[in-house]
């Protein structure tokens, strides 16, 4: 009889559940995983190195492309690092706008996660339900920045511009009738804030809908309960953050522990899990969506009541109003200098971290006093999670690898950078 | 069958056996062609239905309401290059889709479409059906093995284990039907359910009915039991290396099997072409006397079509909403839940028959 050996299975990078370009080399004993070896680097674009050759303000757009499902949060981490080194702070209204869009981004990310996780486990409907709501939030992105994905909306010293008074609207096409367009546009008649308010009112019902499909579903529970258990100690040792850590029962949220912007003035709760399995992480993320929704509604209220500047009036950092440039030579020079040379940061080293939807997103910025960073190091939460993959899937079956990849909420833009 | 004179002259010149062959061939064509067209439109129906389940539209570009989509798909599949993996077993690789497809359509021979329409009214029809539906797994196994791909092999292995488990549950469920109807002939099984909706076997055999349909879903590798081709795990499972025509044949087989299982569930447990109203029933006695409407509501093919469509919709519903089982969980469900349920049910049924207590009569 021939000797029975383990075999290796090449999982990805061309695989429907690889979440982009994950390549796993699985050592398998039948259907059981003995060892999972993640190979990274297939989406490496050299973001950190690229940032070293550009003025600070020109790298913001690269941050969107790191974790491409939670764009503005990446920008936030980077912009905050610059602001910290400069010693400036954005106006309060800008801070509220940032917090609001951070939470919108969190919902965007978690919707993407619930859809992709559902699809990995085979629940097809989740993906489309989640994308239905994502579409509305994408419209909010579009309304403030003109772009649905890569917004480049946060700038050092505030945000690019104030919230718009009108929303982009649907138009009649061959495939979209007048009555349907009218229905779609009813919530888009007012300002962006009106639109978002309407969204926050309907979103909890949508989350209920997702939960009816999954939370008590026997198959879903069989596929997630006790899969990929991480103990709280081990989660901390491996550098897990965000829902991956909170799912294990550690109440660690930078929005609470190291409040930045206006998080200390807002009311929200931090959900934590108990068992540290995939199902707990699922529950944590679903609750986070509800909490984010709550934060957004608080921000909307504040923003409606408190108009004001959204950008510092320091023309060395923020561009002057376009109207001034037409007549005022100094403004024109400021504008020219800002968009060619940028601005210089004082010599020094700074680390900022924000509570990104996936965990702690950190930026280490080292400046030698020039107009571009000497070194920019990005701490991507997904990187630490992926390195824990082997431990999480060992002894599970092939199908569980997919479920674990789903629960880790991996996006390769940030891992490979 | 009255033929024109000139044709009739040739027809009677043919020897007896040749007439039989030609006539059977025509009948086979009359079943096969509609089945294939049904498969084509089942894919359309599936995409539309699941589309609406998902609050999207489904295909709507080719032709009015996207009705041309199946033909566009067929055209695309048939014109694609056939790629045979370099280190595969060529012969088996090519024969596998045929092995999957042939039993799926051959099983249709014994299905009675209406009181008079059936190709082969054989006495061991039920046995023949069991044989044919189990043969389909060979296509899957051989495809998985011949492809020389680890994903395909995994898919084939899962499929083999799954079919063994669910074949038993399915067989036991049919044994229950057989015990009640006292016949292996499909026509007799339907006749045994005459007398309106209350006489259908789904009431006394409710457990077996549910088990049979669940096993049927598993047998055809459909969600939530689609581990053999589990999209997100082993990509496409046993047919991962097939493209174009080979894939199209597997696809045809899978959908033909789906329709077959739905039709069989309708026949075994819901009276096949029987109308839910009977001439002697409380509503039927008035309803069936109404001219035109009465004829429409009486026994006939449309009832079979309606019942089959209902089960097909269930298939699509499962696929649209359920997550996928893990391979070992499927095994557990099959061996530890479905098979015990059928055994207990058959045992109870046997006791009832032995005691002469027959609630279904």
Q: What's residue B232's pLDDT? A: 74
A 10 A CB-CB count for B111 gives 24
| Residue A106 binned pLDDT confidence (cut-offs 50, 70, 90) | very high
Q: What's residue A2's pLDDT? A: 67
Average pLDDT over residues B291-312: 81
Nearest CA in chain B to A116: B232
Residue A132: list chain B partners with CB under 8 A: 55
Task: Report residue A214 as tokens.
Answer: 């999954």
Residue B224: list chain A partners with CB under 8 A: 122, 219
| Residue A364 binned pLDDT confidence (cut-offs 50, 70, 90) | very high
Higher pLDDT among residues A127 and B234, named by residue: A127
Q: What's residue B218's pLDDT? A: 87
| Residue B1 binned pLDDT confidence (cut-offs 50, 70, 90) | low
Are A15 and B235 inside 8 Å of each other by CB? yes
Judge whether residue A124 has pLDDT over 90: no
* Residue B338 DSSP class: I
Q: What's residue B164's pLDDT? A: 82
Q: What's residue B26's pLDDT? A: 86
Judge whether residue A356 has pLDDT over 60: yes
Are A219 and B230 inside 8 Å of each other by CB? no
Judge whether residue B84 has pLDDT over 90: no
Are A122 and B230 inside 8 Å of each other by CB? yes
Judge whether residue B360 has pLDDT over 60: no
Average pLDDT over residues B298-310: 84
Q: Which of A331-345, B190-204, B324-338 has the lowest mean pLDDT?
A: B190-204
Higher pLDDT among residues B260 and B195, named by residue: B260
Residue B231 to chain A, least CA–CA distance (Å)? 7
Residue A24: list chain B partners with CB under 8 A: none
Higher pLDDT among residues A44 and B301, named by residue: A44
| Span A232-268, pLDDT tens digits | 999 899 989 989 899 898 888 888 888 888 888 888 8
Judge whether residue B96 has pLDDT over 60: yes
Q: How far is CA B224 from CA A15, A219, B46, in A?
A: 20, 9, 15
Judge whether residue B146 has pLDDT over 80: yes
Distance between CA atoms of B120 and A291, rounded to whole angstroms? 64
Judge whether residue B298 has pLDDT over 80: no
Q: What's residue A103's pLDDT? A: 92
Are A217 and B324 inside 8 Å of each other by CB? no
Q: What per-residue string of b and e applies to B182-192 under the rule 16 or more CB within 10 Å gives b?
A: ebbbbbbbbbb
Q: What's residue B3's pLDDT? A: 65
Distance between CA atoms of A161 and A240, rounded to whole angstroms? 35
Judge whether residue A107 has pLDDT over 90: yes
**Helices marked H in chain B:** 5-13, 16-53, 69-79, 90-106, 125-146, 150-181, 186-191, 206-219, 231-234, 244-270, 284-287, 293-297, 301-321, 327-332, 339-354
pTM as predicted? 0.88
Closest CA to A51 of A42, A41, A62: A62
Judge whether residue B300 has pLDDT over 80: no
Q: Which of A243-252, A406-415, B120-129 has the lowest mean pLDDT?
A: B120-129
Q: What's residue A366's pLDDT? A: 92
Distance between CA atoms of A31 and A33, rounded to whole angstroms? 7
Are B224 and A132 inside 8 Å of each other by CB? no
Residue B326: list chain A partners with CB under 8 A: 222-223, 397, 399-400
Residue B319: list chain A partners with CB under 8 A: 124
Average pLDDT over residues B272-296: 72
Facing residue for A219 by CB, picked from B150, B320, B323: B323
Nearest CA in chain B to A213: B321
Q: What's residue A104's pLDDT? A: 92
Q: What's residue A1's pLDDT? A: 60
Judge whether residue B358 has pLDDT over 70: no
| Span A307-351, pLDDT tens digits | 888 888 888 888 888 888 888 899 999 999 888 988 888 999 999
Distance between CA atoms of B361 and B346, rounded to whole angstroms? 17
Angle B325-B331-B332 (CA atoms, 0-180°, nearest 5)? 90
Q: What's residue A284's pLDDT? A: 92
Share the mean pLDDT of chain A: 88
Q: What's residue A290's pLDDT? A: 92
Nearest CA in chain A to B240: A15
Average pLDDT over residues A291-313: 90
Distance between CA atoms of A341 and A56, rounded to whole angstroms? 9
Are A31 and B154 inside 8 Å of each other by CB? yes
For residue A130, report the phi and psi dihedrals to the nearest 5 degrees: -65, -40
**Beta bridge mates, A155:** A158
Residue A310 to chain B, least CA–CA distance (Å)? 38
| Alpha-carbon torsion angle A97, A112, A408, A288, nearest 10 | 50
Average pLDDT over residues B144-154: 86
**Helices marked H in A271-354:** 278-305, 322-327, 329-340
Residue A104 to chain B, least CA–CA distance (Å)? 23
**Beta bridge mates, A379:** A362
Are B326 and A399 inside 8 Å of each other by CB? yes
Average pLDDT over residues B276-294: 71
| Residue A295 binned pLDDT confidence (cut-offs 50, 70, 90) | very high
Residue A19: list chain B partners with CB under 8 A: none
| Residue A22 binned pLDDT confidence (cut-offs 50, 70, 90) | confident
Q: What's residue B361's pLDDT? A: 55
Average pLDDT over residues A58-67: 88
Share the mean pLDDT of chain B: 84
Distance between CA atoms of B256 and B36, rounded to whole angstroms? 8
Residue B73 to chain A, least CA–CA distance (Å)? 21
Facing residue for A222 by CB, picked from B55, B233, B329: B329
| Residue A286 binned pLDDT confidence (cut-offs 50, 70, 90) | very high
* Residue B287 DSSP class: H
Distance between CA atoms of B23 and B2, rounded to whole angstroms? 13
Q: What's residue A190's pLDDT? A: 85
| Span B27-77, pLDDT tens digits | 888 888 888 888 888 889 989 998 988 888 888 888 888 888 888 988 888
Judge whether residue A4 has pLDDT over 80: no
Closest CA to B309 of B19, B41, B77: B41
User: Interface of chain B against chain A, CB under 8 Å?
Assistant: 50, 53-56, 60, 150-151, 154, 158, 223-224, 226-227, 230-235, 319-329
Q: What's residue A100's pLDDT? A: 92
Q: What's residue B355's pLDDT? A: 83
Facing residue for A219 by CB, picked from B50, B319, B325: B325
| Residue B275 binned pLDDT confidence (cut-offs 50, 70, 90) | confident
Residue A125: list chain B partners with CB under 8 A: 53-54, 320-321
Judge whether residue B154 has pLDDT over 60: yes
Q: What's residue B159's pLDDT? A: 84
Q: What's residue A321's pLDDT? A: 84
Residue A125 to chain B, least CA–CA distance (Å)? 6
Q: What's residue A293's pLDDT? A: 92
Average pLDDT over residues A9-22: 81
Disruptive mutation site among B323, B329, B330 for chain A (greatest number of A CBs within 10 Å)? B323
Q: What's residue A291's pLDDT? A: 92
């Amino acid at each position: 009889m021939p000797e029975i050996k383990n075999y290796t299975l090449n999982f990805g990078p061309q695989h429907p559940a690889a979440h982009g370009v994950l390549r796993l080399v699985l050592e398998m004993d039948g259907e059981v995983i003995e060892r999972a070896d993640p190979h990274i680097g297939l989406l490496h674009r050299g973001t950190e190195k690229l940032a070293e050759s550009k003025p600070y303000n020109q790298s913001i757009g690269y941050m969107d492309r790191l974790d491409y499902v939670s764009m503005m949060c990446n920008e936030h981490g980077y912009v905050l690092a610059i602001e910290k080194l400069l010693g400036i702070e954005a106006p309060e209204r800008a801070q509220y706008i940032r917090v609001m869009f951070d939470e919108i981004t969190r919902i965007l990310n978690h919707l993407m996660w619930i859809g992709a996780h559902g699809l990995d486990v085979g629940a097809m409907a989740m993906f489309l339900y989640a994308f239905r709501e994502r579409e509305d939030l994408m419209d909010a992105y579009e309304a403030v920045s003109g772009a649905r994905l890569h917004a480049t909306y946060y700038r050092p010293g505030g945000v690019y511009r104030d919230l718009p008074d009108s929303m982009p609207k649907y138009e009649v096409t061959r495939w979209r009738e007048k009555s349907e367009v009218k229905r779609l546009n009813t919530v888009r008649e007012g300002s962006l804030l009106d639109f978002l308010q309407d969204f926050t009112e309907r979103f909890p019902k949508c989350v209920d809908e997702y939960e009816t499909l999954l939370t008590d579903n026997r198959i879903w529970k069989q596929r997630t309960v006790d899969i990929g258990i991480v103990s709280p100690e081990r989660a901390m040792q491996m550098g897990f953050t965000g829902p991956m850590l909170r799912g294990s029962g550690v109440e660690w949220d930078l929005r609470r522990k190291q409040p930045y912007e206006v998080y200390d003035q807002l009311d929200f709760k931090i959900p934590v899990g108990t068992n540290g399995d995939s199902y707990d992480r699922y529950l944590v993320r679903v609750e986070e969506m509800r909490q984010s929704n709550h934060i957004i509604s608080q921000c909307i209220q504040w923003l409606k009541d408190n108009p004001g500047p959204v950008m510092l009036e320091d023309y060395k950092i923020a561009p002057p109003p376009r109207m001034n440039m037409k007549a005022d030579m100094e403004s024109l020079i400021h504008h020219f200098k800002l968009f060619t040379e940028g601005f210089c940061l004082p010599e020094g080293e700074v680390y900022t971290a924000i509570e990104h939807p996936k965990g702690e997103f950190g930026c280490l910025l080292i400046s030698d006093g020039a107009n571009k960073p000497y070194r920019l190091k990005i701490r991507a939460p997904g990187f630490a999670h992926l390195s824990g993959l082997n431990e999480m899937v060992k002894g599970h079956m092939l199908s569980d690898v997919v479920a674990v990849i789903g629960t880790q909420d991996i996006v390769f833009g940030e891992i490979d950078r | 069958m009255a033929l024109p004179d000139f044709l009739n002259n040739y027809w009677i010149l043919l020897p007896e056996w040749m007439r039989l062959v030609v006539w059977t061939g025509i009948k086979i064509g009359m079943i096969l062609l509609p089945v294939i067209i049904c498969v084509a439109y089942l894919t359309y129906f599936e995409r539309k239905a699941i589309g609406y389940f998902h609050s999207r539209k489904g295909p709507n570009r080719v032709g009015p309401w996207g009705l041309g989509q199946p033909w566009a798909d067929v055209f695309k599949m048939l014109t694609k290059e056939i790629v045979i993996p370099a280190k595969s077993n060529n012969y088996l690789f090519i024969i596998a889709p045929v092995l999957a497809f042939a039993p799926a359509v051959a099983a249709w021979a014994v299905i009675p479409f209406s009181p008079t329409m059936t190709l082969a009214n054989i006495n061991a029809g039920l046995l023949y059906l069991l044989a044919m539906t189990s043969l389909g797994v060979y296509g899957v196994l051989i495809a998985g093995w011949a492809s020389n791909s680890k994903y395909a092999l995994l898919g084939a292995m899962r499929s083999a284990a799954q079919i063994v488990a669910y074949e038993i549950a399915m067989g036991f469920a049919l044994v229950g039907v057989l015990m009640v109807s006292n016949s292996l002939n499909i026509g007799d099984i339907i006749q045994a359910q005459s007398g309106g909706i209350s006489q259908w076997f789904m009431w006394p055999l409710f457990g077996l009915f549910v088990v049979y349909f669940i096993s049927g879903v598993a047998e055809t590798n459909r969600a939530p039991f689609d581990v053999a081709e589990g999209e997100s795990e082993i990509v496409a499972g046993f047919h991962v290396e097939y493209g174009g025509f080979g894939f199209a044949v597997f696809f045809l087989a899978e959908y033909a099997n789906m329709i077959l299982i739905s039709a069989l569930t309708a026949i075994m447990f819901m009276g096949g072409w029987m109308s839910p109203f009977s001439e002697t029933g409380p509503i039927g006695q008035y309803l069936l006397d109404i001219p035109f409407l009465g004829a429409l509501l009486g026994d006939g093919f449309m009832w079979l079509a309606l019942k089959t469509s209902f089960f097909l919709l269930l298939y699509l519903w499962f696929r649209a909403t359920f997550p996928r089982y893990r391979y070992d969980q499927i095994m557990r469900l099959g061996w530890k839940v479905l098979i015990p349920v059928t055994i207990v049910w058959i045992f109870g049924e046997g006791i009832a028959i032995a005691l002469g207590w027959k609630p279904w009569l």
